Amino acid sequence: MPFDYATRLKKIPPYLFVEIDDKVRKKRQEGIDIIDFGIGDPDIPTPSPIVEEVKRQLDDPANHRYPSSGGEPDVRRAVAEWYHRRFNVEVDPDGEVAILIGSKEGIANICRAFVNPGEKVLCPDPGYPVYSQGGTLLCDAIPVKVPLHPDKGFLPDLDALPSDAKMLYLNYPNNPTGAIAPKDFLWKASTWCVETDTILCYDNAYSEMTFDDYTAPSILECCQGTGAIEFGSLSKTFNMTGYRIGYAVGDANLISGLRKVKSQIDSGTSMFVQRALIKALGMYKGAEKPDLVKQNIKVYQDRRDVLVKGLRGLGFKIDPPKGTFYLWLKVDGSSMEFADRMLSVGVVCTPGLGFGEFGDGYVRFATTQPVERIEEAIERMRKVL
């Protein structure tokens, strides 16, 4: 007799990417060649200097032991030094930095640290599902939709938000829309959070994945230094999704709470991976991206431009985003139906409905395919549009 799920788990819908994987697997079993723009998982290898550093650190038996759940001191110091070089922000590595098993777990665990059952959490819609599900619902809290509309540049209307929420998630450059947020908006958002006693959780995983001379800020550049915590990751910047390493930086009270949760449920990222972070962030000698990262971004920008041109040739209206490696495409009708129609010719895109109610009518393309496959996908799409 199977055991019944806990009530909190029953509230969470199936993870959309799992459903997509099932559909894609069946198509592959049918012998269909798949061009996958679904999950945002870089297809470019991890840079060789980082791979070599992992190998070197792995040879040291000291790095085979349990790490600190909140991060090794020299690794936290490397993050603090990077924040100074990159954002001109002073950070205390001992009290204001935590090392994460990828930013995803920190984004979820910050809820465990500060949100009580029945309290409200403001979650962007469309938005990364972890905000409302992995974080809010698994804490028996109440996710409140924060609509992101194209006529407002996919920025929330702060004046329309309820002032009695415990926490607000924001994410720019934005997944899934690719939108960016100007600094004056971030100042307004952080001020609103201070005035309403709302914790500001800023997902900045795509800070380095920007195009057309745009440079993304940190929320710590645009706040009064209290009540905000920022999450970052090496996953996209250095093609390290499988390494599972990220960081949280910000208000010491928030970092302390996050560390306390982590001390109870995980033992931290492997030390040899943590020390690869020192190598990666050390490539920044100032605020400017290192050549290795610039080369990465150039690949994604070229792919973005080819996909935008192809979609325009199919009759779609779309502007190239200045951040992330996603394209957020407005389609006619249901996003699920559109995605299924694309899958019929072996092209995988993510239905916008998976990112929330206001995501329906859109699909997301991740530019994780080489140019020649993007061009082939456009020709396949032409057959069913």
**pLDDT, position 1:** 66
Partners of 168 in the β-ladder: 122, 200
Q: Is-cis flag, bond preceding 156, omega within 30?
A: no
**pLDDT, position 224:** 77
* Strands 120-125 and 167-171, sheet pairing: parallel
Distance CA 267, CA 106 (A): 13
CATH top-level class for 48-281? Answer: alpha beta
Residue-wise pLDDT tens for the chain (385 aa)? 689 999 999 888 876 777 778 888 999 999 999 999 998 999 999 999 999 999 999 999 999 999 988 999 999 999 999 999 999 999 999 999 999 999 999 999 999 999 999 999 999 999 999 999 999 999 999 999 999 999 999 999 999 999 999 999 999 999 999 999 999 999 999 999 999 999 999 999 999 999 999 999 999 999 977 899 999 999 999 999 999 999 999 999 999 999 999 999 999 999 999 999 999 999 999 999 999 999 999 999 999 999 999 999 999 999 999 999 999 999 999 999 999 999 999 999 999 999 999 999 999 999 999 999 999 999 999 999 9
Question: 318: Cβ–Cβ under 8 A, 6 or more apart, which residues?
Answer: 308, 311, 312, 327, 329, 330
The answer to whether 80 and 97 are in contact (CB under 8 A) is yes
Look up residue 106 and give its amino acid.
Answer: G
**pLDDT, position 39:** 85
Are 14-43+291-384 and 48-281 in the same CATH fold? no
Look up residue 34 and give its amino acid.
Answer: I
Question: 261: Cβ–Cβ under 8 A, 6 or more apart, which residues?
Answer: 109, 112, 113
Q: Is-cis flag, bond preceding 124, omega within 30?
A: no
Q: Which CATH number fits domain 14-43+291-384: 3.90.1150.10, 3.40.1280.10, 3.30.420.40, 2.30.30.30?
A: 3.90.1150.10
Where are the domains positioned within the chain?
A: 14-43+291-384, 48-281
The answer to whether 178 and 212 are in contact (CB under 8 A) is no
The pTM score is 0.96
Nearest to 365 by CA among 325, 319, 310, 331: 325
- Cα dihedral sign, 356-120-219-255: negative
